[in-house]
Structures are given as C-alpha cells and as structure tokens.
Amino acid sequence: MYNTYMIRYGEIGLKGKNRPAFEKRLMGNISRALKDTGPARVQRVYGRILVESAADPARVLDKLSKVFGIVGIGPALRLPLDEEAICEGALAALKDAAAGIKKTPGTPLTFKVEARRSNKQFPRTSPELNGLIGGYLLKNYPGLTVDVHNPQIRVRVEIREKNAFIYAADILGVGGLPVGASGKALLLLSGGIDSPVAGWMAMKRGIEIEAVHFHSFPFTGEKSLEKVRDLCRALTAYTARIKLHVVHFTDIQKDIQKNCPEELRVTIMRRMMFRLAKRIAGQQEALALVTGESVGQVASQTLESMRVINQVIDLPVLRPLVGMDKLEIIHRAQEIGTYDISVLPYEDCCTLFLPKHPATRPRSEQAEEAEKPLAVEDLLAGALERTVVEDIGRKV
Amino acid sequence: MREVYLDNSATTRPYPEVVRAVVEAMEENYGNPSSLHRKGVEAGRAVTRARETVAAGLGVAPGEIVFTGGGSEAVNLAVKGVLPGRRGRHVITTAVEHPAVLNACGQLKERGIEITVLPVDGEGVVDPGHLRAALRDDTYLVAIMHVNNEVGAVQPLDELAAVIAEFRRAGRRLLWHVDAIQAYGKLPQRPAELGVDLLSVSAHKVHGPKGVGALYVAPRTQLQPLVAGGGQEAGLRSGTENVPGIAGFGAAAAVIAREARDSNTAKKLFALKKRLVEGILAAVPGAVLNGPACREDNPRCAPHIANISFPGLRGEVLLHSLEGRGIYVSTGSACASRKNPGSHVLKAMGLKGELLEGAIRFSLSYTNTEEEIDYAVENTVAAVEELRALYD
Amino acid sequence: MREVYLDNSATTRPYPEVVRAVVEAMEENYGNPSSLHRKGVEAGRAVTRARETVAAGLGVAPGEIVFTGGGSEAVNLAVKGVLPGRRGRHVITTAVEHPAVLNACGQLKERGIEITVLPVDGEGVVDPGHLRAALRDDTYLVAIMHVNNEVGAVQPLDELAAVIAEFRRAGRRLLWHVDAIQAYGKLPQRPAELGVDLLSVSAHKVHGPKGVGALYVAPRTQLQPLVAGGGQEAGLRSGTENVPGIAGFGAAAAVIAREARDSNTAKKLFALKKRLVEGILAAVPGAVLNGPACREDNPRCAPHIANISFPGLRGEVLLHSLEGRGIYVSTGSACASRKNPGSHVLKAMGLKGELLEGAIRFSLSYTNTEEEIDYAVENTVAAVEELRALYD
Ligand SMILES: Cc1ncc(COP(=O)(O)O)c(C=O)c1O
Ligand SMILES: Cc1ncc(COP(=O)(O)O)c(C=O)c1O
C-alpha cells in the first residue's frame, strides 16, 4: 500500500559543510539498492530523503533496511490534498502500525496525531487537523484512545505543497555512514564466520570494500572458492558490488610447510598474506586492511602475534571484531546472511595445515629467522602474477 | 498427413535449444552437484544458471526458486508444505483449480483441515467478494490459480491481492499460493508485487522438459519438504538434482523471456486464438465458446486457451475425428481426460448436458501459425458437419 | 589430462543409448500420456515399455512399478506413504541408511511415530538378531537398505527376511522397505521372493537420467501419495509423466539387465575393486579399508564401493589433490558432503579421529577399465606421498 518512504539519516546530518556530499552519496546508494525493485524516485526534501516507489513495500523496505547511513524509514502514503483521502489514509496507516504492535487484551491502543502544515495555503491549521483526523480514527477503529504524551502509535501527517504525506510506522535503519564516504579498504576474506562480519562492520562506517582471498588449489577445491564468492554476493546486499582478488597461495603454503618450523607456520603464513594484501591495496588505492581477527588465545589472535604479523606492512589494519564475543559475531553473521554460507565445511587455506602446537607468543626475531629459507620476493611476485580479479555483482 | 498440435496446455514440444541443453547436461555436466570435485561444481553451475534465468523471468531472486519434479509436485509442496501455525485450520481454494490443488486440499481435509471451495461465475472467474466473505480468523492458506487450464479464465489477481492485503493488514497471517502453471510464459508474472507467497510453474508447458517444475517461495516463508533427505534445494526438495531437466527448463525460460519481452508475440498468440474462435463460431451452428469472451480488451481471457462446445456431439468423438485429420486437441484437461467424463471446471461454470459433453479444448502456443489455425478451423467445421450428418 | 571417474555412487554418466532414448522421447513422443489422441498414446507406450523393462529387471509385474521424480522421492513415498494402520506407531531403521530414509523417519517422528535405529557392527552390517529384538506389536514399518552407499556393506537381506517372515507368521502386519538404490544393477534384486513390500531404485545411479526413480510396490500394499493430483501412476504419483526420463530409465535398465545376466561383468567389476583396494593398501602405509573385507566369497562386500581411510590426511584435501590428477572421488556420500564433515555411517561403525577425517570413497561402475584403476592407484599413492611430505 505504501508508495513513499521518508528516510531519516541522523549522523550524516551533523557533518557541516560535508553534508551535501554525504547526502548525494546516500541518495546514490539508495537508488542503486532499489534498482532491482523497479522505477524509484529519490529526492531530498527538508532534511529528509524522500523515496517514491510503487513496488511491493516489503521488498522496498528490505532493500532500504540494508543501506548504511539510514537511521529510520517511515513508510508513507502520498495523497492528494483532500480531507477525506487524508482521513482514510490515516486510518490505513494506523491499522498497519497496529498490526506490528503486541496488544494486551482489555487495554486500549494509544495513539496521537501529529499534523504539520508547511503549506500554509491549506485551509486547516495543524491543531484543527489533529482534531479532525483524531476524531475520524476514534470513530472508525474500536478500542483506541488518545495519549498525547506517550502514545504507542504516532500518526504523522505532513501537509506539503502538492501532497499530504501520512506515516505511522517508523522502522529502524541500519545506521552508520553511506558506503564510499570513508574511502576504500581491502578485506582479507577467508571462508570463516568472522571476516565477512568484519567487512560488514567496515562498510557500516562508510568504507568501500574490496576483498582478497587466498586460495590453495588443488588442496582446496572450487567449492571453497564458490563459497567465498557467495559470501561476497551476500555482502553486496549492502553495497553495489565487490571486487574479489583471488590470490594463488598454494606455492607459498607449500614452501612454508617445507621450510619453516611447525610452530611458526601460521605466523609466517599471515605475514605473507599481509605482504600480498599490502601490494594489492597499493594497486587498488585502498588505504587500510580489514581483518576478522579478534583478541583471544588462539594462534594468530594474541597481541604478540598481531604485532609480529603487522610488522611486515605499514598500512593501518582495522580489526572491527576486537570488541566482540564469539556469540555476538555469530548473531551478526546470521543477521546479515553470511552465517549459513560460512558454516559450509569446505576446507580453506587456513584450515589446511593446522599445526598441532602453534606459537601463541612469537617474537619478531624468531619470525625473521624462520622466514630466511623463503625467497619472499619471488613468492610474492609469483602469487600476484596468478591473482585473478572477479567482479561480484548483486544478483536480482 | 499434415499435423497441427493444438494441445499445448496438456504439454508442449520441447524447443530445439531445450533438447540441446538436456543433451549437454547429460553428456558433459553429468556430475552430482553435491560432489566436491570439478564434475560436481560444473553440474552445480548449470543448475545455478537455470535458477537465475527462471528467477529473472518471475522477477524474483534466485534463492527464492525451488526446483521440483514437476508442476504437480510444486503445487503439493506448496499446499501441503505450509505450516498451519497455531491457529490455522482453514484453507480456501476455488472450484476450478487443477486436480493437483484440489486433491492436495483433499489430503489436508483428511488431516482435519477445513476447506472452503469458492464458486465461479459462468465464465469460470472467481469473485473477490467471495474470497473476502470466506476469509476467517483461522484461514492460513489461500490457493487460487492464475489461468485456468480448461477454459483459459484469468483470475483477477490484482483484486484478490487487495483483499488478501487488507486481511493481512488486520494482523492476520495468511499465505497465498498461485498455480501459475498455465499462465507462465503467456502472461507476466509478478508474485513479489502482488504479495503472492508461493507460485508454481511447470517446464513442459512452456516447451521445456517434462518432470521438472519450480516453486517460488517468498522470503521468510516456512515450508515443510515433501521429499526429505540430503538437503538439496535449501532443504526444500532433497534428492540428486535433475541437472538435465533443470538445464532444459532454464533454456526454455530464456526463450520464453524473449517471447514475453516482445509484445508482438503476445499479440500474435491472441490473434491466433481469436482467428480460431471466430472462425469456428462463425461456421459451426450452435457452437459456443466457454469461458471469458475472446476480446483483446478482456483481461479475463487468456491468449492461448479456447474451450468450445459443439452441442449434439461427444467431445471425445470429435477429438478422434480431428485426430484423423491430424489435429490434436483435448477434452477438458489432459489429466482429467481419462477418469472424469464431465469436467469439474465446466460443471462449476454451470454447464450441463450437451454443452458439457460436447466440449473441446484448443490450446495454442507461440509455435503455431496462421496457416495451422486455418487448417484447424476448416477441418473442425468439416468434422462437425460429417459427424452431425451421422448423428442427426 | 586423463580423467578417471570413480564417483559412480554419487551419480553416473548416462549411457549413449539413454541419451538417445531421452532425445527421441523429447523430439517424437512429446505428447502427454493422458491425452486421448495419438501423440498421447505414443508417449504412453514409451512409458509402458520402460515400465516393463524396469519391472523385468526386478522380477516383478509392470503394474507394481511406480515411477517417481528420483530415488529420494521413491524413498519418501515408501517411508511416509505407508499407513500406520490402527495400532502402528513404531518404525525400525538402521544407523547407516541414506539421509533420505533417516530424514523421512525424522518427519514421522515429528508426527508422533517412535523410531528405533538399529546399530551396525564395525563393518557397517546390521545384526538380524537386533531386528528381532527391536520388533514390537506396534511396529508397522521396517526400513533397511540393501547396499550402503558409503562403504558398500551389503545387508543380510535373507536373514532379515527370515526374521520378518517369522514376525508376520505370528499374525503381525508389517511392511518392509528396502532402499536398493546402490544395489540396483550391481546385485540381483528379488523383492517378491524375500517378502519385501517396497523397494526404491534411482535411474541416475545406473547410467540413466537424473530426476527419475521407481518404487516397487507389492500387490495389495496401501500407500498414500506424496504428490496428489491427476491420478497418474495408479494414483500414487500424480503429475504429467516424465516421459523422456522414464524412457531413459528404461534404456538404462535394459543395458543393466544385460550386464547382470552376464556373470562375467559382475566378476569383472569386483576384480576392478579388488585391484584398486589391494593396490592402494599395499603401497600406502597406514591406509585402511572401511567396511566388509574385499573378498570374492564375502557376501557382505559390494562389488563397486571401496571406502579407504588415509590417516593423517584430510579426506577433502586428498580429494582435491586427486582431482588435480583427473581422478574424481568422494568423501562420504555426495549428499552429506556439505553439512556433515564426519560421515554418520563411519561414525556408526565406530570410526574416530584420523580414520574418520581421512576417509575417501572410490565407487566403480561397468564403464571403468583396468587401466583406469591402475592410473588411480598410481596417482593415489603419489598424491598421498606428496601430501604427507607437506604435512611431515
Ligand atoms: C542408498 C541411497 N539412497 C537414496 C539415495 C537418493 O537418491 P537420489 O539422489 O536419486 O534422490 C542415494 C543416492 O544419493 C543412495 O545412495
Ligand atoms: C493449472 C495446472 N496446474 C497443475 C498442473 C500439473 O502440472 P504437471 O502435469 O507438470 O505436474 C497442470 C498441468 O497439467 C495445470 O494445467
């Protein structure tokens, strides 16, 4: 029934003279998100963004709820400036909002009408409208009472130049900043649960993401790669497209297995990954790396090993999951639709050669010593040469 | 002898590209999509491609398509797979549904579910007002088709959708299944827009392979699988995927999408039907068109199905007489032909006696030509005359 | 690169005569068997011919064969279609059944049926004594497979049949379903002789098309259809018949019957498996055969499936390494590969740790050759050595 959506975008409203650029980006992102749902008009009005679309509201809302930067969505009815139509519209909006509220039998539903008239040509003042519409609703919806202080439902009516807008529901957006507003970073994407969530959290802060995946064919098969593509595809629900760099990691891994002491292999593998990522970031003009690491007691997740791994590059490394517990990460992964993909069991390069006793507190000298037998530059060059870039777009 | 196949609502002849896709899948992509190795991955990709094509044709996401072993299976998965929920114990359907829907509802009835069967008017069309009146607090499923397979009546989906939306706005949970098996490829499908939760299609009605169908399942719709097992098709249809059948379906869906984009083909199809109907009605005294009037501006009239009664003749006798002239048609729906002498659809429309007994269904497809239609008209007229002379 | 396909228990490559039969049915017999005209009759005949061939291969009457949309569907029709009767509320199955059986039983459980899962010994074989002990007055269905798909254990059907016959002699009503999907075409099937009431087979495991299976239904066995509708397949499986799939199944059944009649082919198949198993076990230190010992005089050992553990390696890594050498195998059953890292069958046999993680299934068919086996042995040995060097 809805054909219009009032978009609130709290945080970016505060950004002073950057504001127009932010708004423009957000509007662009909204248009792109709605591309598959049919024609939509996106325009800026009075500190809001107004989206008009005749498509199935459930679909539109689903798409809008995945656009970073949106704080709230008010699905609205856009009506002619006609009192009867406005009253009927208000009733429909009230019913719809009521459907989403848990009712306690016996107690009435409380509501309030908030009319605003920016078009002063309209013959009724705001208080008049409040009375008129409120009366109509009370008459036509049994079990309703007015509560001006703390109503369960606010029926908002805005009288504008050519149309009246009515909305009663307010749907929470994802918040954050529009993707692209904060520059670009490179996400180290494995097939696990953590890294897609890390990517999502970075995007939430306006960072555009490219992904790099280390693939060890033939030890890991096509399906584990397909799984990573699917993870990217799932993330494209929140952004237009993701460039995926698939690095041929087999030879490096073999060399590490052959030449490095067992307990340091994970550390060295991560160092090699960071070195490769840094070069790709350079080519792609990405300003930082994003990883799914958090602080725990396993091999690469201690502060000691993070330090040793970080030493090989001079880019900032964002680890958005450091503050999260495993369960929080799992919940987020389920929410954003990556969990079911992540739990598919295919081996990836990180699960391939798990040493029995990895060093949890490696020192830099140890790592440097252990790397000596590796022809690091040649290995990096070889891996980059066999890197394939894929453009993962959204599927309708 | 010349052959004119006008039984396309029973089944169609596969397009050459469909046959090619099936053969390729059998000879090259013969792996099991669940296998981890390349043969499995390649077979899986063939399925993914087909899923994307079929989904695009319905304007939905690939993840919302479940491939099944045919149209009837899709219908049964929908009708019987919907969980009634805590309060649900009532289902609404119509008198003109295909036996797949009606008999699946019959099985629900055995499990204690109450079924309301909506009547239709003389043209086979459901009144949205009747739906509104039939909806109850405990109604959890509505099964109303798009195009009827026997007379080509197009149900008023927009108005039905409005009734359902209203009911839902009042806070009631309700799923809607649309049997679009005859509509698919002929009329645009837009389940997402209409608020349809489940929609069945069948490949062999659109020049795809037999034994493969698909069910559109709207996001967040809970279903119980008919076939449990290895968890294929997101757990909704287990069993090694019918890769060749699905690939063939994809190939047919691609052609159908091209046809659908070209508004001329749709017009051409309708023009053929009109030529057939007008030709026969003009030349055969007493012949009557069953179902919605055949006019371009009549939204209730499907472009490819024409059901005509020839009073005084038995449908089956005329059918065989036409067969003798190389023209293949049907009496009522194909599935019902064997057991059910009087079509339940025509009966629901109020037909009786000679009009009921003398009904013939002509069903067209994009592959038919004007010449074929003229041949069919000429020979129908001749056959009727010949038979009437015998019966007089 | 040379390709050696040893994943025939996941699926097989269709025989050329199967592809021809499918194409012919699509291009010529494209009618709907329910149609009354010649096109329908011809399509119906193709189905009848296939039904006769499949029935003959199982030593049963054509009227006792129901074609389904695949093996899993046949299994589900059997397991869920059996009416418990007034007293029935208990079903017996085994720990090594395919997920199709186990998950169908899971759905029965949700409906309040009690399920007893019989254990197996270290070779994956059920003890008929356990069946005898588990049978109860209210047991109405026993579902025990013939050949297990992961390790090739052949269940002792004769002895199980004796237990069931004894129980029935005591006046109890009980139906027995045999999942013969892996046994079909490799070991003789004689359901009628054994007192088996329901037996499932799947075409694509014997070089037939995917998406078509069959259920043998003994005379006077009452079943409730999964797919209700037009009443095809004697009312047990509605929906327009998958004529090309069924015709292809018939073609495969005909070839398989020829193979089966020739006792040399069976011997040859077993000899290939033996060559593979002995070759690998002799050259790979620590490798272990899972399941019944590979001896010609061992009736528990199927001629085509060999499951071998390579301790210290991950099955999936070895699988991909073999893939890199053009050899296609599987870890556990194809269907389970996705979700279930440790196979439920190997676990039921008591495998743990490295033996569980390092298991690979080689599955053969009549189309494999000695050369292929030698290539596979050679490369398995080499791949294991290479990987072990990395894992040191
Ligand atoms: C023993 C067994 N039962 C059932 C099935 C299921 O058959 P289908 O995949 O043809 O549905 C299979 C094969 O996957 C099997 O090996
Ligand atoms: C409207 C309708 N529904 C369902 C079906 C069943 O489809 P299938 O025969 O492919 O199972 C048919 C065709 O027979 C049909 O026309």
Choosing from B149, B200, B305 the residue with most ligand 2 atoms within 8 A of its CB, the one to mutate for a pocket test is B149
| Separation of CA B202 and ligand 2 centre (Å) | 7
* A157/A217 same-domain check: no
Q: Which residue has the tokens 């002895």?
A: C159
Provide the pLDDT for residue A394.
56
Ligand 2 within 6 A of CB of B179: yes
Of A122, A150, A172, at which residue does a domain stop? A172
- Residue C46 predicted with pLDDT over 50: yes
- Quick one: which atom of ligand 1 is closest to the CA of C204? 10
- Cα C356 to the center of its chain, rounded Å: 22
| Cross-strand partners of A242 | A392
Mean pLDDT taken over chain A: 89
Please tell me whether A386 is known to bind a ligand. no
Summarised one tens digit per residue, pLDDT across range B312-343 is 999 999 999 999 999 999 996 544 445 556 89
Give me the CATH code for the C4-13+263-391 domain, please.
Answer: 3.90.1150.10
Residue A177 falls within a domain, yes or no?
A: no
Mean pLDDT taken over chain C: 94
Summarised one tens digit per residue, pLDDT across range A217-263 is 878 888 889 999 999 999 998 998 899 999 999 999 989 988 999 88
| Cross-strand partners of C177 | C143, C198
Q: Does B332 reach chain C within 8 Å, measured CB to CB?
A: no
Provide the pLDDT for residue A11.
65
Provide the pLDDT for residue B340.
54
* A90/A196 same-domain check: no
ipTM, two decimals, is: 0.86
* A287/A168 same-domain check: no
Range of the domain at A347: 184-393
Residue of chain C whose Cα is closest to the Cα of B204? C240
Mutate to test the interface with C, among A215, A216, A217, A219 (most CBs of C within 10 A): A219
Q: CA torsion angle for B256, B260, B261, B267 (degrees, to 10)?
A: 140
Summarised one tens digit per residue, pLDDT across range A87-119 is 999 998 998 888 777 777 778 889 999 999 988
Contacts 24+ apart (CB under 8 A), C106-112: C106/B228, C107/B224, C107/B228, C107/C80, C108/C79, C108/C80
* A135/A272 same-domain check: no
- Residue B365 predicted with pLDDT over 80: yes
Active-site residues of B: which are they?
A: 335
* A140/A12 same-domain check: yes
Residue A118 falls within a domain, yes or no?
A: yes
Summarised one tens digit per residue, pLDDT across range C242-279 is 999 999 999 999 999 888 777 788 889 999 999 999 99
* A253/A352 same-domain check: yes
* A14/A115 same-domain check: yes
Summarised one tens digit per residue, pLDDT across range B289-300 is 999 999 999 999
Residue of chain B whose Cα is closest to the Cα of A91? B169
Of A119, A137, A172, at which residue does a domain stop? A172
Provide the pLDDT for residue B336.
43
With CA atoms as reference, report the closest residue to C30 among A226, A154, B5, B2. B5
CATH number, domain at A59?
3.30.2130.30
The domain spans of chain B are: 4-13+263-391, 16-258
Summarised one tens digit per residue, pLDDT across range C3-25 is 999 999 999 999 999 999 999 99
Instruction: Find all residues with CB under 8 Å of A102, minimum gap 6, and list them.
Output: none
Number of domains in chain A: 2
Higher-pLDDT residue of A216, B250:
B250
Q: Which residue has the tokens 């198949």?
A: C269
Provide the pLDDT for residue B339.
53
Summarised one tens digit per residue, pLDDT across range A167-211 is 888 888 999 999 988 899 999 999 899 999 999 999 999 999 999
Q: Does A352 reach chain C within 8 Å, measured CB to CB?
A: yes
Contact C330 B240 (CB under 8 A): no
Measured CA to CA, the distance from residue C72 to residue C91 in angstroms comes to: 18
Tell me the three state secondary structure of residue C157.
Answer: helix
> Which secondary-structure segment (H or E) carries B272?
helix B263-283
**Rg of chain C taking only CA atoms, in angstroms:** 21
Instruction: Find all residues with CB under 8 Å of A369, minimum gap 6, and list them.
Output: none
Provide the pLDDT for residue A14.
59
- Residue B220 predicted with pLDDT over 50: yes
Please state which architecture CATH assigns to domain B16-258: 3-Layer(aba) Sandwich (3.40)
Measured CA to CA, the distance from residue A372 to residue A366 in angstroms comes to: 10
